[in-house]
């Protein structure tokens, strides 16, 4: 019995080689479907890993209170959108001083997303983000000092002209002179600052560089850059994830009190977590995953129809061969298995090619966004199983038709 199966496989492989062009074209159709499916899903996995890594680097167990919330308020003419005022410096500072929950809090504001930093004759492009921050900002934002130090509490309170710079900024303006960066005087816009610390690299997120940053004391920024309309952000970091809920409740109650939000009215600010942003992005990626799967399945259905057509043509062309095999004693089951094996072999060849191309294309996209190489085992196994199903589904009817041919009529076939 085992020898019979091996012989069937050999005959099937010879038949596939004998129709090399036809088999190759059919396998390529299947490969396109698997490439689309595995490639897009691999790229999405790489994107998910990159997004999760980027948001984790923003600081764990952290949430922020920001302005910009809006609601609906009543009026004589009906209900209209309510625009809330920004969180002011005094409100943010009041919160930091009165917040009694055991957590780290900081205040920050974006001074400019398009600043130029200069040292001597060297300067950056006008794309450096300048952040005004209080002394605890590094912890709540997930930054670490590589060299030098953070600005002190006294420097923070007095508004000293000191700065922390990211790795990209250091590379651009201290090319070949990194050992001289600490203590050097730089121009941020038109204002002069002394570099006291170099931030560890955070890498690049999608459309954002965590290393193209300059951080200055918030009181200094108020004197030199910020205006009364600037909106401030309050950042809070708890010691563990289990404390997040209690810390949020305490923060919302205190901020509502500071901003004098009326009872029964929605809060005039919003609270955000990095996890919430991750989940929002991943939900959007899930929609893309469904669409990619649909495209891949449709392509595979087309490939299955093509494979079935090839197998039916093969049965017709090899009718005399089938008659000869039956005349010398081949059973109907043997004939059926031979054609099934042919269909499965073509399907698996296309599947393996598609998997290789899919992994390569998906990781090429991952390479562009600085994501590590991914081997999507579940998609590899899924692709093999899908191709096995395509081979069986496409080959069963032609194989059954071949097994039921009358040997005498087959021998008469021209």
Query: 347 near 391, Cβ under 8 Å?
Result: yes
Q: How far apart are the first and last CA of the chain?
A: 33
Residue-level pLDDT, tens digit, the chain, 414 residues = 455 556 666 666 676 666 677 777 778 877 877 887 788 778 777 777 766 665 555 555 788 898 865 444 444 444 455 677 889 999 999 998 899 898 888 999 998 888 999 998 899 999 899 999 988 888 888 888 999 999 888 888 888 999 999 999 999 998 877 788 899 999 998 899 999 999 998 766 544 567 899 999 998 998 888 877 888 999 998 887 678 888 889 999 999 999 998 888 888 888 887 655 555 566 666 777 777 777 777 777 777 777 777 777 767 766 777 777 667 776 777 777 777 777 788 778 888 888 888 888 888 877 777 777 777 777 778 778 877 777 777 777 777 777 776 666 655 555
Residue spans per domain, the chain: 2-55+279-412, 63-272
Query: 118 near 173, Cβ under 8 Å?
Result: yes
The model's pLDDT over 250-287, given as tens digits with 9 standing for 90+, comes to 999 999 999 998 888 888 888 887 655 555 566 666 77
The model's pLDDT over 22-44, given as tens digits with 9 standing for 90+, comes to 777 778 877 877 887 788 778 77
Single pTM value for the model: 0.56
pLDDT at 77: 46
């Amino acid at each position: 019995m085992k020898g019979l199966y091996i012989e069937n496989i050999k005959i099937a492989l010879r038949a596939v080689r004998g129709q090399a062009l036809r088999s190759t074209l059919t396998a390529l159709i299947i490969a396109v479907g698997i490439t689309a499916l595995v490639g897009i899903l691999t790229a999405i996995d790489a994107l998910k890993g990159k997004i999760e890594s980027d948001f984790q680097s923003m600081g764990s167990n952290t949430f922020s209170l920001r302005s910009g919330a809006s609601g609906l308020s009543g009026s004589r003419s009906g209900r209209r959108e309510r625009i809330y005022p920004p969180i002011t410096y005094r409100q943010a500072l009041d919160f930091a001083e009165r917040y009694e929950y055991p957590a780290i809090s900081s205040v920050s504001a974006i001074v400019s997303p398009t600043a130029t930093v200069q040292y001597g004759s060297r300067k950056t492009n006008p794309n450096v983000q300048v952040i005004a921050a209080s002394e605890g900002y590094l912890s709540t934002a997930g930054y670490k000092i590589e060299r030098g130090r953070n600005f002190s509490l006294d420097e923070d309170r007095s508004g000293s002209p000191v700065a922390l710079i990211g790795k990209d900024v250091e590379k651009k303006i201290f090319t070949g002179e990194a050992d001289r960066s600490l203590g050097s005087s730089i121009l941020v816009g038109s204002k002069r600052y002394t570099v006291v610390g170099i931030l560890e690299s955070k890498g690049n997120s999608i459309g954002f560089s965590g290393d193209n940053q300059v951080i200055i004391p918030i009181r200094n920024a108020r004197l030199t850059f910020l205006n009364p309309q600037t909106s401030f952000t309050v950042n809070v970091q708890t010691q563990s994830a289990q404390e997040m809920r209690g810390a949020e409740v305490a923060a919302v109650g205190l901020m509502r009190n500071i901003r004098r939000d009326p009872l029964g009215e929605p809060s005039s600010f919003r609270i955000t977590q990095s996890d919430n942003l991750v989940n929002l992005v991943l939900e959007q990626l899930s929609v893309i995953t469904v669409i990619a799967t649909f495209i891949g399945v449709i392509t595979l259905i087309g490939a299955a129809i093509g494979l079935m057509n090839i197998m039916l043509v093969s049965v017709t062309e090899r009718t005399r061969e089938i008659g000869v095999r039956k005349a010398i004693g081949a059973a109907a089951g043997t004939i059926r298995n031979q054609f099934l094996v042919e269909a499965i072999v073509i399907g698996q060849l296309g599947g393996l090619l598609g998997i290789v191309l899919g992994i390569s294309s998906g990781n090429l996209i991952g390479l562009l966004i600085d994501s590590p190489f991914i081997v999507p085992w579940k998609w590899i196994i899924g692709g093999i199983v899908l191709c096995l199903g395509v081979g069986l589904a496409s080959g069963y009817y032609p194989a059954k038709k071949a097994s039921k041919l009358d040997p005498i009529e087959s021998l008469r076939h021209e």
